[in-house]
Amino acid sequence: MDKKTIVITGCSSGFGRITALTLAEKGWHVFGTVRKETDRESLIAEAGRHGCSQNLTILFCDITQQEQVEQLMEQVTEHLRGDEAMEHEEHVPRLDALMNNAGTAYGGPIELLPIEDLRNQFEINVFAQIAVTQAFLPLLKEARGIIIMVSSIGGRVATPIAGAYNASKAALEFLSDALRIELVPFGVRVVLVEPISSPTDIWNTSLERALQRIGAQREGPYERLLQVSERFAKRFSKQGFPPQVFADMVAHILESDRPGVRYAVPRSAAIPMTIGRLLPDRLRDYLVRRTLKW
């Protein structure tokens, strides 16, 4: 296999799906993960319409399950070896890139958030990302490849209702910072991508899950905050930058000889993101509360 190769987790929808299609169209061979057969079928069908299905290999994997992560690594390795494995046992397959994209959001006031939800949030957005990274690092080291960690603006600025999600993305950011330094001697680069709101399903899914778990307590002291958050979630699911902007940014990173450490998506988000971090804590709290009318 002489094409550039990449593993992308979470290709059922959103950023993962559109990035997989974009890179496949550009000639990369993409190993994309999904969890359902229906998602696999629809992605293959869409790739066919784009004329790039030959560059896409769809594999099943729940990245929170260690045995499935190990199986994913073995499947990718077999694909990369191809027929050469029969002729040259010493052949080392090449993986040029990994994009840790799979993730989810658990919403709700921290007081009412079930501890199990908090554990699940970190299991998916933190522990599973590192498990996948560890599994593929031997191949990435051999290729002196690149790891793209999909974080969020929420990993740098916390907001009510999204506290669990914010915390998980902040943890991913610090782990990525440490990993980036650790991997310098091996020639493996680590890049953080921090998108702001985009019309994907993550916030609607998060809100529906939160309201289900909170149940009757929704009518309690946090009622107004939940109502405002619900309006924001619905707006975010319909507005924001087009997901194609994210995919084009990833393509730019992969094509760059010296990619940066972190990228805001869209680029225009970098300025307000930086200002938000530099504001005094109390002023930032006041602005968030004023926005949410809380």
Contacts 24+ apart (CB under 8 A), 123-128: 123/64, 124/63, 124/64, 124/168, 125/165, 125/168, 125/169, 125/171, 125/172, 126/168, 126/171, 126/172, 126/175, 127/64, 128/63, 128/64, 128/69, 128/102
**Nearest of 264, 277, 254 to residue 192 by alpha carbon:** 264
Neighbour tally for 27: CB within 10 Å: 10
Residues 6+ apart with CB under 8 A from 114: 213
Answer whether 43's CB lies under 8 Å from 16's CB. no
Q: Compute, in degrees rounded to 10, the torsion defined by CA atoms 42, 47, 50, 54.
A: -160
Options 106, 169, 222, 263, the catalytic residue:
169
Class of residue 192 by CB neighbours under 10 A (exposed 0-12, middle 13-18, buried 19+): buried
Q: Is 222 one of the catalytic residues?
A: no
Q: Is 141 one of the catalytic residues?
A: no
Structure tokens given for 250: 């990833």
Three-state DSSP at 122 gives helix
Answer whether 107's CB lies under 8 Å from 166's CB. no
Residues 6+ apart with CB under 8 A from 81: 91, 93
Q: In whole angstroms, what is the distance from residue 168 CA to residue 151 CA?
A: 9
Q: In whole angstroms, what is the distance from residue 239 CA to residue 119 CA?
A: 30
Options 4, 26, 141, 165, the catalytic residue:
165
Catalytic residues: 165, 169
